[in-house]
Chains A and B, each alone.
Chain A
Amino acid sequence: MADKSIVGRTGKPFKMPIEWSKVREFARAIKDPNPLYLDPEAAKKELGGIPVPVTFLQTSAFWTDESSSPGFGGFDLRRILHGEQEFELLKPIFVGDVLTGVSKIADVMEKEGGRGGKMTLLVSETEYTNQRGEKVAIARSTLIETGQAVKA
């Protein structure tokens, strides 16, 4: 059921303020004790602000809801696997920035799979702009819907 008609569909823009406590918590969760995430003075001196980890935009989950999702048109979320994830980091993101994200369905493809039978691949893209209107990042996610529930 690769429904191509949903390609290009977008969600409502969402705001994502970049907060230091969230950055610290995330850095700790990925076992990265780098002082640039933990020591604002050191970070400002070296980079001009407190940076965010490479995969930090995953925390957009805290700022999105159903209206900001482009909608997964009939995808069965119980059979979904996260296949790939990509971040294009175009400009620095610092604590204090307020990003605006817009998610869209970039592609839908069908593929013969292994363990789970026929698979449908869905590529979604979220583009992030900062408070100065600069495009700072694109997060690209490939979800796989398997033909049947995948066992371990």
Chain B
Amino acid sequence: MAKKLKFDSVNVGDEIPRFVVEGVTRPDFVRYAGASGDFVPLHYDQTFVEAAGIPTVFAQGMFTAGLLSKALTDWAGIGNVRNFKVRFATRVWPGDLVACTGKVTGKREQNGEKIVEGELIVSNQKGEAAIRGSFRAAAA
């Protein structure tokens, strides 16, 4: 039986256990480019970014969002996420710490399913938000 949140034991204000990557790297961005098919050169081509007046390459927003989705599915179980939404705020640079977490803001029934909803956040070592987001997940 698949892992699912227990609706009755989840409370508003509960935090999603933090998933922290101590320092993201250029190879992380290259690996994500290859895995996702996002070959925008801003994320791996130093010559290109310098010509654009940017000091160095930075993470694909969806790479960071992927790390955040792992934090969410580790907690809510794979197969239970019904909605995942992210808004990109600050760029993530090589060497940045990336901390992914979130918290429960509501519980309700929708289309015969028990749903837990909440907000998501990715922050860097300075405490700035790189991503703000929201989720809905099915519970048992």
> Which A residues are closer than 8 A to B by beta carbons?
22, 25-26, 28-32, 34, 36-37, 46-47, 51, 53-55, 58-62, 81-90, 92, 149, 151-152
Contact = CB atoms under 8 A, between A and B. Distances in A.
B82 interface: yes
Given A53-B70, A85-B61, 15 more contacts: A26-B36, A30-B66, A30-B67, A30-B69, A32-B70, A34-B74, A36-B78, A55-B66, A59-B37, A81-B88, A83-B87, A84-B87, A86-B86, A88-B83, A89-B81
27 contacts: A28-B35, A29-B32, A29-B63, A29-B66, A30-B32, A30-B67, A30-B69, A31-B28, A32-B69, A47-B78, A51-B79, A53-B70, A55-B65, A55-B66, A58-B36, A58-B38, A58-B62, A59-B36, A60-B37, A61-B38, A83-B87, A84-B88, A85-B86, A86-B84, A86-B85, A89-B83, A152-B55
Contact of A82 (B28, B61, B67): B61
B22 to A, nearest CB: 11
Question: Taking chain A's interface residues, is the majority helix, strand, or loop, or is none over half, making it mixed?
Answer: mixed
Contacts of B35: 22, 25-26, 28-30, 59
Question: Taking chain B's interface residues, is the majority helix, strand, or loop, or is none over half, making it mixed?
Answer: mixed
What 8 A-B pairs have minimum CB-CB distances, sorted nearest first? Answer: A30-B66, A61-B37, A29-B35, A54-B69, A86-B85, A32-B70, A62-B37, A29-B32
Which range contains the number of B residues in contact with the other chain? Answer: 35 or more
A54 B73 contact: yes
A84 B86 contact: yes
Given A25-B34, A54-B69, A82-B88, A31 B78 contact: no
Contact of B1 (A46, A53, A149): A46
B39 to A, nearest CB: 8
Given A58-B36, A61-B37, A61-B38, A31 B67 contact: yes
B18 to A, nearest CB: 14
A44 B56 CA distance: 43
A60 B74 CA distance: 24
Contacts of A83: 87-88
Contacts of A25: 34-35
A98 to B, nearest CB: 18
Given A85-B65, A149-B52, A92 B79 contact: yes
Contacts of A54: 69, 72-73, 81, 84
Contacts of A51: 78-79
B140 interface: no
Most chain A CB atoms below 10 A, which of B31, B53, B79: B79
A52 to B, nearest CB: 9
B91 interface: yes
A88 B82 contact: yes
